[in-house]
Amino acid sequence: MMSKGASVRFQSVSKHYGDVQALQEFSLDVAAGEFITILGASGSGKSTVLNALAGFSPASAGEIFVNDKPITHAPPEKRNIGMVFQNYSLFPHMNVLENVCFPLLMRKMDKAQRETLGRKALDIVRLADFAARKPKELSGGQQQRVAIARAIVFSPSLLLMDEPLGALDLKLREALQFEIKEIQHQLNCTVIYVTHDQREALAMSNRIAVLRAGRIEQVGTPA
Ligand code: ADP
Ligand code: MG
């Protein structure tokens, strides 16, 4: 599952939902292979940044580049971007392996190849023995690892994580922080991580961008 991390450039990206201005001329450069965290309070626009980049909720204005190519208007499945959502969003009627393989189905890969890659992704998150379980038969931490496996199953060069550990207790959160760093090294991908937890941002990141009311307030190393 080797890939090379992608670089990302947000160029004056704005996003409004009706009257709500969620992002205002958001600009940020992310280097290939970097682990960057967007840190901000609830409502500051963090999820909006990730959804614009992943293509689930396109920008209203501005341009987004991945590896110097504009992708602002490309459909999500053409972007090679994995995303872990804030609330897991696993499909309850599908078992673990089917959940993990779902992005490959969207990419029209045949069944045998889907299962090979799906089992490889489950190995990486140490859930190989849970392939046949339904999400409701798993703990919160296990469900979140399934969501991570689903996000990395197509070896994305860019992995987006939206408050992935927010619902977990402290001990599990610290263990998964470590696992996420390991996964990044294994995949050799760029990570854009979102949290409102300053300690988590300081522990995990090469750089931190502080977001406030849809604008970047500060960008720098944890130091
Ligand atoms: P965060 O992830 O930092 O909590 P969001 O990006 O979800 O923030 O939201 C930024 C702002 O945009 C908030 O004021 C929020 O209420 C608003 N917002 C987000 N999604 C929608 C939506 N689908 N419709 C209307 N307003 C939205
Ligand atoms: Mg959010």
Residue 55 near residue 76, CB atoms below 8 Å: yes
Tens of pLDDT, residues 89-105: 899 999 999 999 999 99
Quick one: pLDDT at residue 1? Answer: 44
Q: How far is the CA of 48 from the centre of ligand 1 (A)?
A: 7
In the chain, what percentage of residues exceed pLDDT 70?
99
Length of the chain: 223
Which atom of ligand 1 is the closest one to the Cα of 51?
6
Cβ contacts of 6 within 8 Å, gap of 6 or more = 32, 66, 67, 80, 157, 158, 189, 190
Quick one: pLDDT at residue 3? Answer: 53
| CB of 91 shorter than 6 A to ligand 1 | no
Query: Which of 15, 19, 20 is the pocket-test mutation for ligand 1 (most atoms within 8 Å of CB)?
Result: 20
| CB of 46 shorter than 6 A to ligand 1 | yes
Q: How far is the CA of 38 from the centre of ligand 1 (A)?
A: 15
| CB of 51 shorter than 6 A to ligand 1 | no
Section 165-189 average pLDDT: 89
Section 156-179 average pLDDT: 90
Q: How far is the CA of 86 from the centre of ligand 1 (A)?
A: 13
| CB of 48 shorter than 6 A to ligand 1 | yes
Phi/psi at 221 (nearest 5 deg)? -75, 160
Quick one: pLDDT at residue 70? Answer: 94
Tens of pLDDT, residues 35-76: 999 999 999 999 999 999 999 999 999 999 999 999 988 888
Pick the ligand that lies closest to the CA of residue 40.
1
Residue 26 near residue 14, CB atoms below 8 Å: yes
In the chain, what percentage of residues exceed pLDDT 90?
83
Residues within 5 A (CB) of ion ligand 2: 46-47
Section 133-155 average pLDDT: 94
Tens of pLDDT, residues 102-119: 999 988 899 999 999 999
Which residues in 57-145 belong to E strands, given as ranges? Answer: 61-66, 69-70, 81-84
Q: How far apart, in whole angstroms, are the C-alpha atoms of residue 152 and residue 180?
A: 11
Helix (H, G, I), strand (E, B) or coil at 95: coil
| CB of 45 shorter than 6 A to ligand 1 | yes
Angle at 136 between CA 104 and CA 84, to 5 degrees: 45
**Composition of the chain by helix, strand, coil, percent to 5:** 35, 25, 35
